[in-house]
Structure 1
Amino acid sequence: MELLIAGLTLFISGHSIRLIAPQWRLQQIQKLGDKRWKLLFSMIAATGLALMIIGYNSARKHPHWLWLPPLWTRHLAALLTLPATVLIIASQIPGNRLQSTLRHPMYAGLALWAMAHLLANGGVHDLIFFGALLLWSVSGLWISVQRDRRLNNPAPAYLGLQRDLLTLGAGLAGWIVLTLWLHALLIGVAPLA
């Protein structure tokens, strides 16, 4: 459980710098340079991600159950992760309608993903992992929306249906790879089995 908590701490704190200390982040970028900052940030994020995966898999071997979700919640979670994946992909493809409308689809997608996993998993480790990511993503969305309002930031430009189709196609492809292959490989659970 310690590795899981350490990974969450690294991952969430690293990704929260832009939310809670944007000026400090800019100072560090100016001081280190953009490439060195990105390298440092990537190393912290990758270490946090690796520790989360290792820690979560380790905690799953000796679970402490809070509740035992029925089997149908697993299928509901798999279904909910489809729009979650599309939202996360939408944050990376400029000009799509989801990005233009929601402004911060990454946070929305991560919140939906975490909520789906909380429905289907009932261990203490699940509550810590998915609960922390749900709280962080909802907080990140709220902070980002408030910042946009305060700074009067315009919504990202919408560049047309082609960007929407690319977003949907990439999101569906990503979901298929994650659901049918990568989830079982990394986590040891086939969501649709």
Structure 2
Amino acid sequence: MGWFEFALAYAVFFLSHSLPVRPPLRPWLQARLGASGFTIAYSALSLAALAWLIAAAGRAPYVALWDWAPWQVHVPLTFMGPVCLILALSIGRPNPFSFGGARNDQFDPARPGIVRVWRHPLLLALALWAAAHVVPNGDLAHVILFGTFAAFALLGGRLIDRRKRREMGPEWQRMRDRVADAPFLCLPVSWQRLATRMAIGIGLYVALLWLHPWLFGVDPLA
């Protein structure tokens, strides 16, 4: 199917990300699935669309934009370590400013954790992942794929800020100011939880290295 499949996968991916979170569809879905059910269904749909998009990029006609060199492999190998740690430190922890958080009512602006460094840590992880993978994938389809993701991650924070500011009202600015006043590196609420999340991040990195040949058909260590 070539470029047609790639374009179709692109359209499905962005529609699957944008339509379910817009009113009135999101309230309608949450009323029937529940908040947790909506999050699980939305995440599963997003991952399925992403998997198809990546596979479609691999099947698109190969149009080289630059030559491959062995040093390029070290770029994603280096950046994926921080990406995995950011994911482990971000997913499922309170963050009322962005997506991917949980128990946002328990967020402590005096101890914001990674939110003090970056308000949208999952977008930061996405930007690093995408930009790092552009380097060893110098064909047109993959440059479009990863380049678009990197640009979306860098610009998406503004869209989320706008929506969250509208939803939270004046509390958004008050809480943001309190986070800005917190120490840049503050002591964690629980050292045990921090160590557990760090271990999960390292385990995720190792798992991705091991599974990469089966998931994406490329061995990053070869």
Common topology (TM > 0.5): yes
Q: CA RMSD in A?
A: 3.0
Q: TM-score by structure 2 length?
A: 0.70
Contact residue 74 and residue 191 of structure 1 kept, 8 A: yes
Please state if 1:172 is matched with 2:197. Answer: no
Q: TM-score by structure 1 length?
A: 0.79
Instruction: Please name the residue that 1:67 is paired with.
Output: 66
Q: Please report how far the alpha carbon of residue 30 of structure 1 lies from its aligned counterpart in structure 2 after TM superposition.
A: 5.0
Instruction: Please name the residue that 1:103 is paired with.
Output: 119
5+ residue gaps, structure 1, are none
Higher relative contact order (CA 8 A, sep 6+): 1
Q: Please report how far the alpha carbon of residue 123 of structure 1 lies from its aligned counterpart in structure 2 after TM superposition.
A: 0.3
How many aligned residue pairs are there? 188
Instruction: Please name the residue that 1:57 is paired with.
Output: 58
Q: Within 1, Cα distance between the matches of 2:39 and 2:212? A: 27
Match of 1:5 among 1, 4, 7: 7
Q: Please report how far the alpha carbon of residue 162 of structure 1 lies from its aligned counterpart in structure 2 after TM superposition.
A: 2.8
Question: Residues 141-183 of structure 1, C-alpha deviation per residue, up to 9 Å, x if partnerless?
Answer: 2322444556443369x6333332222211111011102x211
Contact residue 82 and residue 175 of structure 1 kept, 8 A: yes
Given the superposition, is the C-alpha separation of residues 42 and 3 from structure 1 closer, same or farther in structure 2, using an over 3 Å criterion? farther
In terms of fraction of residues, the more helix-rich structure is: 1
Q: Please report how far the alpha carbon of residue 106 of structure 1 lies from its aligned counterpart in structure 2 after TM superposition.
A: 0.8
Letter in 1 for 2:73: R
After superposition, residues 33-44 of structure 1 pair within 5 angstroms as 33-34=33-34, 37-38=38-39, 41-42=42-43, 44=45
Residue 93 of structure 2 aligns to a residue in which SS?
Answer: coil
Please state if 1:29 is matched with 2:25. Answer: no
Q: Percent identity?
A: 25
After superposition, residues 137-152 of structure 1 pair within 5 angstroms as 137-148=153-164, 151=169, 152=171
5+ residue gaps, structure 2, are 95-111, 180-187
Contact residue 20 and residue 42 of structure 2 kept, 8 A: no
